Amino acid sequence: MPATIVVGTQWGDEGKGRIIDNLAEKSQMVVRFQGGNNAGHTIVNEAGEFRFHLVPSGILYPQVTAVVGNGVVIDPRVLCQEIDALRARGFDCANLRISGNAHMIMPYHILLDAAHETQLGRRKIGTTRRGIGPAYTDKAARLGIRVQDLADKKILRQKLDTAIGEKNDLLEKVYNSPGVDPFEVMEQYACYADKLSPYIADTSLLIDKTLKRGEQVLFEGAQGTMLDIDHGTYPFVTSSNPIAGAACVGAGVGPTAINEVIGVCKAYTTRVGEGPFPTELGGALGDHFVNKGAEFGTTTGRKRRCGWLDLVVLKYAVRLNGLTGLAITKLDVLSGLDQINVCSMYEYDHDGIRDNFTDFPPHQSMFYHCQPVYQNLPGWKEDISGARKLDDLPVEARDYLNLVSEEAGVPIRIVSVGPGRDEVVEM
Ligand code: IMP
């Protein structure tokens, strides 16, 4: 199908990178449409391990044009570093395109992100401190600086002067921390301008032309549904919309262009940062997931919080994204467990009110006080990393997948059983 969106159905870190990598093999274009270098996608292929934060992971395929769309917030320092690192490993980035309409993360955004988190203290969001929130704030406040501004040094200077005056006041007078030097920032960004200018393009037009040629375009979501600023666990969310609808806005395509939406769902649940997480596990079981699943953030190295799969969350993601297919990742991490639990409902008992939720609760305070109700399934002991078709999986693993697909009401298209590129079961 020509236009496919891939999104996360949980709190990010679902393993979207490897699913994108799998689908990108048959695509001509891969497009990032939201978020920034708060994302981290790991790809393992014959050339080794690659970690991407901004560059779409499809760049590793020679036939793919990798696009950073207008909805992404770009830290040009990080982008330049990623381009250099790829070049050093023999991948020239001639097939990279960056939207001129994308907003840039500026040094003061990073300082403000950290200062705000520190000021919040115990009530902090647990952000990646990459300046994502402050950059989106400036975009909405019409104080942002866009990639296209790099092409006109006079305009860049004017916009910087306007923004820095306000930001330095905030940093110095509100947060009591040092501001930034406008001359230094101007110098730095002039260097990025020289480096990035060959890649700047009208990416909406490029995508349209690619689709009109009948070629396959993949839209690569970052973060996950539960981190969506409108529909996630606000305020413990990111500052963009990781759900599928945002692909149209953040890439500049109309909704009628989209054919498929694939939701990536880890066989269990993880979350980094603060906020409610009903199926969270501590103790030995939590450690099983952390250790066997190597659950440490690609971007910040933080240990992820781990828990059982939450079908209430998955069904919410199906609804919000209009999913047409599921990709289940890290099924192998469940191997060796005697029993596997899946949460199919929440029980709510608070302030004299008792209720059950099979759909996601409409109020954050309710979600906060929800207790998971589990279905218990038998586990399996076999190593499943060699499975390449459904029949290669133990019956308990197939039953698990069937339950997930039935409850979600969406077919499973692909299951990953190990980190390697070929360690997948295609349905
Ligand atoms: P921010 O996006 O850096 O502002 O962080 C806001 C929240 O989103 C924090 O809880 C982060 O840990 C979380 N977050 C942001 N990006 C990712 C990601 O790629 N994976 C998982 N969590 C993320």
Measured in Å, how far apart are the chain's first and last C-alpha atoms? 16
Encode pLDDT of 170-220 as tens digits: 999 999 999 999 999 999 999 999 999 999 999 999 999 999 999 999 999
Q: What is the DSSP string of 333-358?
A: GGTT-SEEEEEEEEEEEETTEEEEES
CB 394 less than 6 A from any atom of ligand 1:
no
- Is 13 annotated as catalytic? yes
CB 167 less than 6 A from any atom of ligand 1:
no
Q: What angle do CA 234, 237, 243 make, to 5 degrees?
A: 100
Q: Residue 264 pLDDT more than 90?
A: yes
Residue nearest ligand 1's atom 21 by CA:
12
* Domains along the sequence of the chain with CATH: 3-100+199-263 (3.40.440.10), 103-196 (1.10.300.10), 267-321+330-407+418-426 (3.90.170.10)
* pLDDT recorded at residue 314: 98
Encode pLDDT of 273-287 as tens digits: 889 999 999 899 999
Q: Residue 298 pLDDT more than 80?
A: no
In ligand 1, the atom with minimum distance to the C-alpha of 113 is 4
In ligand 1, the atom with minimum distance to the C-alpha of 302 is 12
- Amino acid code (one letter) for 234: Y
Ligand 1 mean position to 237 CA, how many Å?
A: 7
Residue from 41, 53, 116, 369 carrying the catalytic annotation: 41
Residue nearest ligand 1's atom 16 by CA:
38
DSSP 421: T
Q: By the 8 A CB rule, do 13 and 21 touch?
A: no
Q: Which of 132, 238, 306 to mutate to test the pocket of ligand 1 (most atoms within 8 A of CB)?
A: 238
**Cβ of 174: how many Cβ atoms within 10 Å?**
12
**Bridge-partner residues for 152, per DSSP?**
none
Burial class, 307, CB count within 10 angstroms (exposed 0-12 / middle 13-18 / buried 19+): buried
Encode pLDDT of 143-177 as tens digits: 999 999 999 999 999 999 999 999 999 999 999 99
How far lies 11's CA from each of 113, 197, 318, in Å? 20, 34, 14
Residue nearest ligand 1's atom 22 by CA:
12
Q: Which residues contact 112 (CB under 8 A, 6 or more apart)?
A: 131, 134, 167, 170, 171, 175
Least confident of 14-23, 194-203, 226-235: 14-23
- Using DSSP, state whether 110 is helix, strand or coil: helix
Encode pLDDT of 86-109 as tens digits: 999 999 899 999 999 999 999 999
Q: How confident is the model at residue 315 (pLDDT cuts 50, 70, 90)?
A: very high
- Is 103 annotated as catalytic? no
Q: Which of 128, 130, 228, 240 to mutate to test the pocket of ligand 1 (most atoms within 8 A of CB)?
A: 128
pLDDT (average), residues 77-84 = 96
In ligand 1, the atom with minimum distance to the C-alpha of 273 is 10
3-state secondary structure 35-65: CCCCCCEEEEECCEEEEECCCCHHHHCCCCE
Percent of the chain past pLDDT 70, that is, above it, reads 100
* pLDDT recorded at residue 112: 98
Q: How confident is the model at residue 297 (pLDDT cuts 50, 70, 90)?
A: confident
Ligand 1 mean position to 82 CA, how many Å?
A: 20
Residue nearest ligand 1's atom 19 by CA:
39
Closest to 126 in 3D by CA, of 280, 306, 272, 303: 272
Ligand 1 mean position to 134 CA, how many Å?
A: 13
CB 15 less than 6 A from any atom of ligand 1:
no
* pLDDT recorded at residue 1: 56
CB 379 less than 6 A from any atom of ligand 1:
no
Least confident of 55-59, 357-361, 386-390: 55-59
